[in-house]
Amino acid sequence: MMRLLKGKTVVNHEIPELKAQVSRLRADDVEPTLAVIMAGKDPASELYLKAQKKMAVRIGIRQQNYFLPSNASQESFLSLIRELNQDSKIHAILVELPLPAHLDENLVTQTISADKDVDGMTDVNIGRLWRGTSVIAPATAAGIMTLLHAYRIQISGHFVVIVGRSQIVGRPLSALMLRENATVVIAHSHTHDLKDLTRQADILITDIGIPKLITSDMVKKESVIVDVGINRARGRLCGDVDFERVAPLVHAITPVPGGVGPVTVISLMQQVIDLARRQYGR
């Protein structure tokens, strides 16, 4: 019997736990606070920001948004980050990407203090992730783990194929999977015989942005499919997986939309709490 891995169900299940964590911090006069910086206008970022704000309010996290004009100078951007790094009332900093083209994304990201880098983008946090000394990872990667844990999907010893090697999904996710004793492979545009690989996957995760690339002959029966792709085809949102044909074959699959997306936001909030707790010395 195929299970639908519904993000919203996981979110509703997680919210009371996160609220309780926030309450404990607030009882000690710590108000977990997330600073979000956005430069210029980007419709996707604005949607994401709105979803964050809504969730923050629900959980009791304070979210402070900083909007910079699209022609903001690099220096003004960096000095805002440095100010937030110093501000003890701010526990977590997120920069909405992509940035306007004249800004150096790398420099901006690496200026965030590792201890406030809630999206796990700094070199230090990538290092901590691979050495297993930190729980902070890019929110989408963290969200996928939250989703799989919530549905009690076995990870240890399973063969996990991740299609897509981005810095925010494929790479950090492979570190998280390895930490939980999965056997992990990252496939990408240079991979030969993709089908041979995906057909072996106990857990298949796709983040490629090609509608319906994963067809029914590319999956293993009774496997688990996590579709991170969000594509628009004929005016409708769809993932990287041919959902209609693949879903009947597998043990569990995420819908698009409604799968990984909602969990990303709750995982981000969990990481805000984790950072606040750590800065408070808990």
Which positions lie near a second copy, rule CB under 8 A?
106, 114, 122-128, 130-131, 133, 156-159, 165, 167, 171, 178, 181-188, 190-192, 197
Supply the minimum distance, in Å, between the C-beta of residue 28 and a second copy: 28
Measured from the CB atom, the residue of 60 and 120 that comes closer to a second copy is 120
- Residue 235's H or E segment, with its range, is none
Q: How many residues does the chain have?
A: 282
Supply the minimum distance, in Å, between the C-beta of residue 12 and a second copy: 32
How many Å from the N-terminal Cα to the C-terminal Cα in the chain?
43
Supply the minimum distance, in Å, between the C-beta of residue 112 and a second copy: 12
Measured from the CB atom, the residue of 184 and 218 that comes closer to a second copy is 184
**Residues whose CB is less than 8 angstroms from the CB of residue 155 and which lie 6 or more positions away in sequence, other chains included:** 148, 177, 180, 181, 182, 203
Q: What is the DSSP string of 189-233?
A: TT-S-HHHHHTT-SEEEE-S--TT-B-GGGS-TT-EEEE---EEE
Supply the minimum distance, in Å, between the C-beta of residue 89 and a second copy: 26
Supply the minimum distance, in Å, between the C-beta of residue 196 and a second copy: 8
Q: For residue 82, give the amino acid letter.
A: R
Q: 38: which 2 tokens?
A: 């956005």
- Which residue, 181, 253, 257, 255, is CA-closest to 219? 253
Measured from the CB atom, the residue of 94 and 184 that comes closer to a second copy is 184
Measured from the CB atom, the residue of 186 and 275 that comes closer to a second copy is 186
Burial of 258 (0-12, 13-18, 19+ CB in 10 A): middle
Supply the minimum distance, in Å, between the C-beta of residue 179 and a second copy: 10
Helices and strands (H, E) in the chain, number of each type: 10, 11
Measured from the CB atom, the residue of 71 and 181 that comes closer to a second copy is 181
Measured from the CB atom, the residue of 6 and 128 that comes closer to a second copy is 128
Measured from the CB atom, the residue of 12 and 154 that comes closer to a second copy is 154
Supply the minimum distance, in Å, between the C-beta of residue 258 and a second copy: 30
Burial of 240 (0-12, 13-18, 19+ CB in 10 A): buried
Contact 270, 241 (CB under 8 A): no
Contact 196, 185 (CB under 8 A): no
Measured from the CB atom, the residue of 53 and 278 that comes closer to a second copy is 278
Supply the minimum distance, in Å, between the C-beta of residue 156 and a second copy: 6
